[in-house]
């Protein structure tokens, strides 16, 4: 005669599975999206855009081989920030760099403000890494100019200013970057 096998109590296995599921959900880290952090401007109805004079435009092109062309000349990514700063500042008021008409900006008074626009366009085959690097360098040039202006006028960095002071600095040191639709390889 065979001995009867005792049965396993499986009543709590559902509870254990549920607790394990909760444990893994709480302890697992999920990869978050990476990319450019952008705050889109508020929507406003603008009049038909006027043509930008050639001297006020800095065309930046990234080709399918990840080479950067600025005004038709190949440039190293490490030089982009310097080129963009010089373009936006136009310290010697050169005729081939942006106009700087005198503009009244609230508490800052009447100061020269650049009309420069940086236009970036890339090939569809451009690597995301290269594109991000170029945009980052352009934005860094604009932030450096804002920091220099803030130190000069307010004695502190742009990030340390009050919101109304930051608005004045953004108006005094605009860094307009226009991103064009990617195109097929050239």
- Residue 46, pLDDT > 70, answer no
Angle between helices 128-154 and 80-89 (to 10 degrees): 40
> E strands of the chain, at which residues?
57-62, 68-70, 73-75, 102-105, 109-112, 117-122, 176-179
- Residue 99 CA, chain-centre distance (Å), reads 24
Average pLDDT, the chain: 86
- Residue 59, pLDDT > 90, answer yes
- Residue 20, pLDDT > 60, answer yes
Reference 120, options 109, 134, 108, 106; nearest CA is: 134
Q: Of 38 and 77, which is predicted with more confidence?
A: 77
Q: Report all structural domains of the chain as residue ranges with CATH numbers, in order of start.
A: 54-179 (3.30.420.270)
Say what the pLDDT of residue 45 is. Answer: 60
| Cα gap 41→36, rounded to integer Å | 15
| Cα gap 168→164, rounded to integer Å | 7
Number of H helices, E strands in the chain: 4, 7
| Cα gap 142→116, rounded to integer Å | 11
pLDDT category, 62, cuts 50, 70, 90?
very high
- Tell me the per-residue pLDDT of 117-150, one tens digit each, with 9 for 90 and over: 999 999 999 999 999 999 999 999 999 999 999 9
- Residue 32, pLDDT > 60, answer yes
């Amino acid at each position: 005669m065979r001995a009867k096998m005792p049965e396993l109590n499986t009543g709590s296995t559902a509870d254990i599975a549920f607790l394990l599921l909760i444990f893994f959900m709480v302890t697992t880290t999920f990869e978050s999206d990476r990319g450019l952090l952008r705050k889109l401007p508020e929507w406003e109805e603008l009049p038909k855009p006027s043509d930008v004079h050639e001297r006020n435009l800095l065309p930046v092109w990234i080709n399918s081989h990840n080479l950067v062309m600025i005004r038709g000349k190949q440039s190293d990514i490490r030089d982009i920030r310097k080129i963009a700063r010089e373009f936006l500042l136009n310290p010697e008021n050169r005729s081939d760099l942006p106009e700087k008409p005198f503009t009244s900006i609230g508490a800052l008074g009447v100061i020269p403000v650049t009309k420069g626009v940086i236009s970036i366009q890339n090939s569809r085959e451009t690597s995301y890494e290269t594109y991000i690097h170029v945009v980052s360098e352009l934005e860094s040039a604009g932030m450096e100019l804002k920091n220099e202006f803030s130190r000069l006028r307010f004695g502190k960095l742009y990030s340390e200013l009050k919101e109304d002071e930051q608005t004045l600095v953004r108006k005094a040191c605009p860094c307009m970057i226009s991103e064009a639709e990617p195109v097929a390889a050239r």
